[in-house]
């Protein structure tokens, strides 16, 4: 047995831990920071709270809020130039995956030459970056604990996956209180994104014992709490479990990587403007069904189903996989994930989406089965229609 496993961030999890941000900056001897956030977090009042905790320790704040969903490379140079001009000593990111990914990417450009696209791939960043503190406000990407940032290359029309050394946050302050009252649609999309991370890391070609342990626990926590968090945004236990699940899923996929669902989701965001979580959730059960042609994957789906509380004991592998997929599709339906048609995707976009999917080399490499353009087209068609699981031929073809 041989594997690599590492996490870039020192994580502190718990209610109220965001109050430690000023103390952490003092320990880093950082007296001036670039503060990265999005407008939604500012409107929610979270920014004011976090800034107060920093100001109590006499930390000067340089604000940067030009953060947009599916962050493009076009917003990075401005932030990096601001940081260099102001001679900041650290970076603090508050928000969802877009804010944290933006902060990671512009932090790279503070100490490394522009443009960002030269760092696409793994371990292409040469110079160490500034200390980065990540404070998540959604239970989704797990970006606070991963050495990966995903940035859209608007010229090439692709999502760059930049990872490895000098990419992750140094410290993560993971506070469930910051996710309380998150709108239902964001709860659903980000929660299903995190669930996808747990699932894809578990079936990945690069899975390992530690990624498996974290992935399965993430699946358990998220699947058992997402509906309650969606329906009752102020349920403290559900919110806590969702954020913990998201973080553990980040622990899992940081080394195991992701698969076919993300390979499809990235082009859906780039070409169709879908939020990343919706792109994942709308295709999840169908891409999983495609992978279930493989008998080894069916066995892994049994484990996933068991983690979700699905009764799979005594069933054949294919039937256990079928029950697990039904449970996944049910979760998507309960939190009202739209079909691709409802999300505004057009059939005439399928061909370019399928081509772009096959160019997502890292995710395709990690996926447990080989995939063709025709396979992707069929998955897109199923997700477009929101087909029932029992109508998917992949599972039917595996029955002996």
Q: For residue 390, what pLDDT is reported?
A: 81
Q: How far apart are CA 192 and CA 262, in angstroms?
A: 12
Contact 249, 214 (CB under 8 A): yes
pLDDT band at 6 (very low <50, low <70, confident <90, very high): confident
Of 363, 338, 347, residue with least CA distance to 158: 363
- Is the pLDDT confidence value at 242 over 60? yes
DSSP letter for 182, please.
-
Query: Would you kindly state where each structural domain of the chain is located, as residue ranges?
Result: 10-179, 184-398
Q: For residue 400, what pLDDT is reported?
A: 38
Q: How far apart are CA 266 and CA 328, in angstroms?
A: 20
Q: For residue 296, what pLDDT is reported?
A: 96
Q: How far apart are CA 140 and CA 110, in angstroms?
A: 26
Q: For residue 26, what pLDDT is reported?
A: 95
CATH 3.30.70.920 fits 10-179, yes or no: no
Q: What would you report as the CA-atom Rg of the chain, rounded to the nearest whole angstrom? A: 20
Of 330, 315, 196, residue with least CA distance to 266: 196
What confidence tens digit (pLDDT) does each residue in 200-221 have? 999 999 999 999 999 999 999 9
What confidence tens digit (pLDDT) does each residue in 294-330 have? 999 999 999 999 999 999 999 999 999 999 999 999 9
Contact 278, 244 (CB under 8 A): no
Mention every residue, 6+ apart, whose C-beta is less than 8 A from residue 11: 144, 145, 171, 172, 174, 247
pLDDT band at 375 (very low <50, low <70, confident <90, very high): very high
Supply 192's token pair: 């299903």
Task: Look at 77-81, 197-201, 362-366, 387-391 and tell me which has the smallest mean pLDDT.
Answer: 387-391
Query: What CATH number does domain 184-398 carry, 1.20.1090.10, 3.30.420.40, 3.30.960.10, 1.10.1060.10?
Result: 1.20.1090.10
**Element spanning 206, H or E:** none
Strand partners, 136: 95
Q: Is 85 exposed, middle or buried (0-12, 13-18, 19+ CB in 10 A)?
A: exposed
Would you say the pTM of this structure is higher than 0.85? yes
């Amino acid at each position: 047995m041989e594997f690599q496993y590492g996490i870039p961030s020192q994580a502190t999890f718990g209610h109220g831990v965001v109050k430690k941000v000023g103390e952490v900056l003092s320990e880093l001897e950082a007296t001036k920071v670039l503060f990265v956030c999005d407008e939604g977090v500012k409107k929610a009042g979270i920014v004011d709270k976090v800034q107060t905790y920093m100001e109590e320790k006499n930390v000067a704040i340089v604000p940067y809020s030009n953060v947009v969903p599916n962050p493009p490379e076009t917003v990075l140079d401005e932030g990096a130039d601001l940081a260099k001009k102001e001679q900041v000593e650290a970076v603090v990111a508050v928000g969802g995956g877009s804010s944290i990914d933006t902060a990671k990417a512009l932090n790279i450009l503070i100490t490394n030459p522009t443009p960002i696209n030269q760092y696409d791939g793994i371990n292409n960043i040469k110079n160490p970056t500034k200390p980065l503190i990540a404070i998540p406000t959604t239970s989704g990407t797990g970006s606070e604990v991963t050495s990966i940032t995903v940035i859209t290359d608007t010229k090439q029309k692709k999502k760059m996956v930049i990872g490895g050394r000098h990419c992750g946050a140094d410290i993560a302050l993971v506070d469930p209180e910051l996710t309380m009252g998150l709108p239902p649609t964001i709860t659903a999309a980000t929660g299903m994104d995190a669930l996808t991370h747990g699932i894809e890391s578990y079936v990945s070609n690069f899975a390992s014992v530690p990624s498996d342990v974290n992935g399965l626990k993430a699946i358990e926590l998220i699947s058992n709490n997402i509906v309650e968090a969606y329906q009752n945004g102020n349920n403290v236990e559900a919110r806590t479990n969702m954020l913990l699940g998201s973080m553990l899923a980040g622990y899992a996929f940081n080394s195991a990587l992701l698969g076919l669902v993300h390979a499809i989701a990235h082009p859906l965001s780039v070409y169709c403007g879908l939020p990343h979580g919706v792109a994942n959730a709308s295709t999840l059960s169908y891409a999983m069904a495609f992978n279930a042609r493989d008998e080894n994957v069916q066995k892994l789906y049994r484990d996933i189903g068991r983690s979700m509380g699905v009764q799979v004991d005594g069933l054949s592998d294919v039937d256990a996989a079928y029950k697990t997929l039904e449970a996944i599709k049910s979760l998507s339906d309960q939190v009202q994930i739209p079909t691709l048609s409802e999300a505004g995707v057009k059939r005439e976009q399928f061909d370019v989406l399928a081509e772009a999917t096959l160019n997502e080399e890292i995710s395709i490499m990690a996926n447990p089965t080989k995939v063709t353009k025709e396979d992707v087209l069929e998955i897109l068609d199923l997700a477009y229609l929101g087909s029932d699981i029992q109508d998917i031929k992949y599972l039917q073809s595996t029955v002996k």
